Amino acid sequence: MFCSGCGHELTPGQAACPRCGRPIAPPIPNLDFQVQNYDGKIKALSIVWLVYGGLSLLLGAIGIAFTNAFLIGHFGPLPHGPWGDGPMGPEWFVPIIMRFAMVFIVLRSALALAAGWGLMQRAEWGRVVAIVAACFGLLRIPIGTALGIWTLVTLLGYRNATLYDQLETRM
């Protein structure tokens, strides 16, 4: 057994570390089982975030390409109205909207992929990025909402933060 403050080797039964004076906490029963169980939850959560980020990027790019083709008129002439004739024609408006939408999709997907990667690496920044991604994901009903709630329930709270810190030290 070693001191959690300075790493000095301890003998059983000591009340405090002889080097730094830190009190020795009694061992938590079943801590290894709890950490292993939590590790499995984090691994599953990270895989789902990676899949969600990849699918968001793929489906978003397909949706942008389809919408761009429709608004430019590849599927036939556009009906009269704001997208047909008028001062705000598709010649300059559609490319601006499509670029904005693509940047938004890439950023959202990059955040999800970063959350998955950070959780897979058990990094502290990964936990923070996943919580931020979960908050943004709550607005994407139903899949993003479910993933956001699952992430927040798994990562928030003192017990979960302590278990996540244990994962970092055991890697």
Residue 162 lies in a domain: yes
Q: How many domains is the chain partitioned into structurally? A: 1
- Residue 95: predicted pLDDT: 79
Q: What is the pTM of this model?
A: 0.74
pLDDT tens figures, 141-171: 999 999 999 999 999 999 899 899 988 766 6
- Name the 3-class secondary structure at 16: strand
Residue 6 lies in a domain: no
Q: Which domain holds residue 52?
A: 32-170
Residue 27 lies in a domain: no
Query: ω into residue 142 within 30 of 0, thus cis?
Result: yes
Task: State residue 16 phi and psi, 5-degree precision.
Answer: -150, 160
pLDDT tens figures, 7-24: 778 787 778 888 888 887
Q: In b/e form, how buried is each residue of 57-70, taking b as 16+ CB within 10 angstroms?
A: beebeeebeeebee
Rounded Cα distance between 147 and 122, Å, is 18
